[in-house]
Structure 1
Amino acid sequence: AGKVSPVIQWDESRLQQAPAGTPVRIAYMLVVHGRAIRQLKRLIKAVYHEQHFFYIHVDKRSNYLHREALELAQHYPNIRVTPWRMVTIWGGASLLKMYLRSMKDLLELAEWPWDFFINLSATDYPTRTNEELVMFLSKYRDKNFLKSHGRDNARFIKKQGLDRLFHECDSHMWRLGERHIPEGIVVDGGSDWFSLTRSFVEYVVYAKDQLVSQLRQFYTYTLLPAESFFHTVLENSHACETLVDNNLRVTNWNRKLGCKCQYKHIVDWCGCSPNDFKPQDFLRLQQLSRPTFFARKFESTVNQEVLEILDTHLYGDYPPNTPALKAYWENVYDRIDGLSGLSDVTLTFYTAFSRLGLRRAAAAPAPKAEKLCRFEPQGFPSSVHLYFYDDRFQGYLVMQEVQNSATGQAESLEVWMMPQGALKLADHGGQTNRLQNLEVGTEWDPKERLFRNFGGLMGPFDEPVAMQKWSRGPNLTATVVWIDPTYVIATSYDITVDAEAEFTQYKPPLNRPLRPGVWTIRLLQFWELLGESQFLVVPQTFNRKQPLRKGE
């Protein structure tokens, strides 16, 4: 296929043998979006070294994360945030454009004399120390590390949609029709995570030859261009012999769970996404079959324990009594961003949380002469965070600016709203009940098998999904019954649970709007109760971000 890929193995015994020459310096390109600033800081802390450089691009839609990244960069001369931002969608041409512009920026920073370009996301994490990485790259300082697809090119081209014309518009990749692959070149691709030499980056950015210019044009109208552009340029260039078919990463692929066409709302194509690592995957992170220094993906809202295990493995135990080691916070709302990112349902919940907190404070026992716990809210909540402890969702932390009714002083009130457990599992007198969990929510993630709507905030126009978790056992058929707040059966249906099934989920045919109040869901087998749970549907108090008026 035109590839030259020397076999490079990881040799632990030769680790202490420092290679000749100056140790390489790395330019880390951090491509981030969302709101997980604590996880980004943890990644930077894990890979940070004063000899390396860190260039951060924050998606144009992630203003909260951008503000936090700018604040972080002020404290370090070798951390900078791109002075420009793009909307980078999954599979989009904008992602390649962002990389090429970032590479040009880094080459023009004379005060940053880097040797390797390594891209990372906030869901990546190192699996080896900086010293090990620098020693390895210093030994192979003329090699470019990219992972190829590992299958025949014709199949890859079809699967990747390279023979289709795509155009990015309005944060969507639109498929326009068929096209021909350029003749006379080897088209390759695979992972869009790579480690590239400065000399190759210079060639890609500054070369005026026909190969680079025409491939740039071709990949401007290509789905997932960052997964193929650099591979194809390298393999058809004078530097083809520098290719090593290894991107130095371990990726947690589970195709059965990760290929659910979860990006159909973004692209006119089906794609796959890796799973998050969890503690039971730790042995995979230590694999020695090929040199690897990073792994993906990690999400602290899914599992933080595996990061603690990795940190301890790399750097030793944390000091005794390290605070908040098992805790994690993630911002979901900040007043500076305005209300545009909130739905009417979340706005209803957040203001209700604040109102309930003020009511609780006012009801707190105090001397009769004192009214220090009476407050008047000043506008909407100032911030809302998800709070996790020991990898379990613990509720919402709501910050509200208030005025003390007694003193007139401005104060900040923090409210911690905890969800109440509503699950009841039946005891069948010693007989095994396969049912382990029964939950209702929205934003079901079939890959990680959890509801992304933490806490289950639901309004009358939401479409709830019922999820059941099972232990292994004999096949069974169960009846699911949904009961509304007035004790009327809204719907019921049967589900078949195979012997090996771990999860089942189904979106019921409920009439909307849903009746506000506490709903009950029951799971029955031969009309005997297996378990039941309850969930809350709130009456919306906002419509298009404005308080509801009478008659609406």
Structure 2
Amino acid sequence: MKTKKTHLHLPFNLNQKWLLPLIGCSVFTLFLLLIVTLSPSNTSQTSDLPTWQQKLTDSNQSLGFPKLPRFAYLISGTKDDGQQLLRVLKAVYHPLNYYLLHLDLEASSIERFELAKFVKLDPVFRYFDNVRVIGKANLVTYKGPTMIASTLHAISILLKMGKEWDWFINLSASDYPLMSQDDLLHVFSYLPRDLNFLEHTSNIGWKEYQRAKPIIIDPGLYHSKKSGVFWAKEKRSVPASFKLFAGSAWVVLTRSFLEFCVWGWDNLPRTLLMYYTNFLSSPEGYFHSVICNSKDYQNTTVNHDMHYILWDNPPKQHPISLTLQHFGAMVESGTPFARKFARDDPVLEKIDREILMRSSGRITPGGWCLGSSYLGGDTCTVYGNPAIIKPSVNSKRLERLIVKLLDPENFRSKQCK
């Protein structure tokens, strides 16, 4: 019995010349689609922001490491500081942190607009959405209380920007980092979250007669144009209801303490703010006096401002401008920041090249940067998990400094004394 052959009728001829290239192209396209879909790396086009945010609490702890902290930065400047402000921002940038930029009212609206436009258009800043520019600038009078008012304003914005940051750090356009954020995050991840770093002393010496007893009025509180402070003829006595402390204006303060300063569940922060309204150089005393007169926070202080600063002997109004001759001492100090630097001084290029591994105009690379550096490529154009960090040898220097500061012989004996 013969079987009947069946024929499959196709709507096209297999011998047609165009068919095989079409099938090959389709297979190749499907292969590429699978690669893109299954690829584990995140890029600026394919990353999912909620995904990396969810990983922040899991990745390090699952590997046995402590949870990484998050910093909230205020970077401030004045007229013609826009470009230097951006340089500092890129040098200290990390996706985990929050950044607030402030050009005071002396800067032109055009300069402020250009700064905001750059932040808005930068693909990294736009993607991680953690950089803001204060649009309605504050008038800041040098040595006047408007300096502390501007800082408290910035802290309030940062408290609203992010609910999970641990420490506030204030920098100016003349500051610069001496290590990467990966180094700083690594070391601070092992520290108690209630430590406040600020240089302070109650032995105010000459400042009692030149800062505490004189009464000044800051015209920036009621004028829209910048000018110097006014001096009253009368003097006032040193307060009896609280003790005055003074120190550096540069601080690393906890979120908890700053919430106390802003919300003030007792009246101490407001009372001291009223007192420092007529105090010369209030940023050198306000936070110091609040923290050391508060029973809740006076035992949380570490007597260091985390800055490398050189002064003349006797000290003048401003610190010495740091140059190439100070490079070695700066690095060996283990401090994460230094000041002050003249704009575009060659030492900044040396810090970028040898410490931060940062190319001109680019963000300091970290463990979250997954791009290729081949032919000078920017590694931070491809993003990974921000919770992955790669600390360098610089973290060991900071670690030695912290261990020294927290040594029992140094720590308690220098708290609010």
**Normalised-by-shorter TM-score class:** 0.5 to 0.7
- What is the deviation of 1:117? 0.5
**Alignment partner of 1:95 out of 147, 157, 180:** 147
Q: Normalised by the size of structure 2, how large is the TM-score?
A: 0.64
Write the letter of the residue equivalent to 1:27: A
Do residues 37 (structure 1) and 82 (structure 2) align?
A: yes
Do residues 73 (structure 1) and 114 (structure 2) align?
A: no
Greater RCO between the two (CA within 8 Å, min separation 6)?
2
Spell out, residue by residue over 1:470-503, the C-alpha distance to the aligned partner (whole angstroms, 9 max, x if none).
xxxxxxxxxxxxxxxxxxxxxxxxxxxxxxxxxx
Give the 3 Å change call, closer, same or farther, for CA 202–225 of structure 1 in structure 2.
same
* Identity level (%): 28
Query: How far apart are the structure 2 equivalents of 1:229 and 1:73?
Result: 31
Spell out, residue by residue over 1:417-445, the C-alpha distance to the aligned partner (whole angstroms, 9 max, x if none).
xxxxxxxxxxxxxxxxxxxxxxxxxxxxx
Matches within 5 A, 1:384-403: none
Give the 3 Å change call, closer, same or farther, for CA 144–86 of structure 1 in structure 2.
same
Write the letter of the residue equivalent to 2:342: E
Query: How far apart are the structure 2 equivalents of 1:31 and 1:285?
Result: 22
Contact 1:142–1:197 (CA under 8 A) maintained in structure 2: yes
Matched with 1:295 is 338
Give the 3 Å change call, closer, same or farther, for CA 182–20 of structure 1 in structure 2.
farther
Contact 1:19–1:138 (CA under 8 A) maintained in structure 2: no
Provide the secondary structure at the position in 2 that maps to 1:209.
Answer: coil
Give the 3 Å change call, closer, same or farther, for CA 40–153 of structure 1 in structure 2.
closer
Contact 1:144–1:197 (CA under 8 A) maintained in structure 2: yes
Give the 3 Å change call, closer, same or farther, for CA 19–284 of structure 1 in structure 2.
farther
- What is the deviation of 1:23? 0.6
**Alignment partner of 2:229 out of 155, 173, 184:** 173
Contact 1:53–1:112 (CA under 8 A) maintained in structure 2: no
CA RMSD of aligned residues (A): 2.4
Spell out, residue by residue over 1:160-208, the C-alpha distance to the aligned partner (whole angstroms, 9 max, x if none).
x111111111532111121122213221111111000000000000014
Do residues 232 (structure 1) and 296 (structure 2) align?
A: no
- What is the deviation of 1:59? 0.6
Query: How far apart are the structure 2 equivalents of 1:218 and 1:211?
Result: 11
Query: How far apart are the structure 2 equivalents of 1:118 and 1:33?
Result: 18
Query: How far apart are the structure 1 equivalents of 2:105 and 2:64?
Result: 41
Structure with more of its chain in strand, by fraction: 1
**Alignment partner of 1:105 out of 150, 157, 178:** 157
Matched with 2:100 is 55
Give the 3 Å change call, closer, same or farther, for CA 123–99 of structure 1 in structure 2.
same
Write the letter of the residue equivalent to 1:313: E
Give the 3 Å change call, closer, same or farther, for CA 299–162 of structure 1 in structure 2.
same
Q: Normalised by the size of structure 1, how large is the TM-score?
A: 0.49
- What is the deviation of 1:144? 0.4
Provide the secondary structure at the position in 2 that maps to 1:276.
Answer: coil
Write the letter of the residue equivalent to 1:172: G
Provide the secondary structure at the position in 1 that maps to 2:154.
Answer: helix
Matched with 2:213 is 163
Do residues 21 (structure 1) and 73 (structure 2) align?
A: no
Matched with 2:355 is 314
Contact 2:195–2:300 (CA under 8 A) maintained in structure 1: yes
Contact 2:178–2:356 (CA under 8 A) maintained in structure 1: no
Query: How far apart are the structure 2 equivalents of 1:98 and 1:317?
Result: 31
Structure with more of its chain in helix, by fraction: 2
Matched with 1:153 is 204
- What is the deviation of 1:102? 1.3
Structure 1 residue ranges without an equivalent (≥5):
1-17, 260-271, 323-552
Matched with 1:137 is 188
- What is the deviation of 1:316? 3.6
Query: How far apart are the structure 1 equivalents of 2:64 and 2:256?
Result: 20
Query: How far apart are the structure 2 equivalents of 1:135 and 1:198?
Result: 19
Spell out, residue by residue over 1:202-222, the C-alpha distance to the aligned partner (whole angstroms, 9 max, x if none).
000001423222101101111
Query: How far apart are the structure 1 equivalents of 2:321 and 2:131?
Result: 27
Spell out, residue by residue over 1:99-134, the C-alpha distance to the aligned partner (whole angstroms, 9 max, x if none).
11111121122x453111000001110011212211
Spell out, residue by residue over 1:499-544, the C-alpha distance to the aligned partner (whole angstroms, 9 max, x if none).
xxxxxxxxxxxxxxxxxxxxxxxxxxxxxxxxxxxxxxxxxxxxxx
Provide the secondary structure at the position in 2 that maps to 1:24.
Answer: coil
Give the 3 Å change call, closer, same or farther, for CA 79–153 of structure 1 in structure 2.
same
- What is the deviation of 1:135? 2.1
Contact 1:28–1:118 (CA under 8 A) maintained in structure 2: yes
Query: How far apart are the structure 1 equivalents of 2:64 and 2:199?
Result: 25
Contact 2:75–2:173 (CA under 8 A) maintained in structure 1: yes
- What is the deviation of 1:24? 0.5
Give the 3 Å change call, closer, same or farther, for CA 307–154 of structure 1 in structure 2.
closer
- What is the deviation of 1:300? 2.5
Write the letter of the residue equivalent to 2:300: T
Spell out, residue by residue over 1:16-44, the C-alpha distance to the aligned partner (whole angstroms, 9 max, x if none).
xx995311101100111121333222211
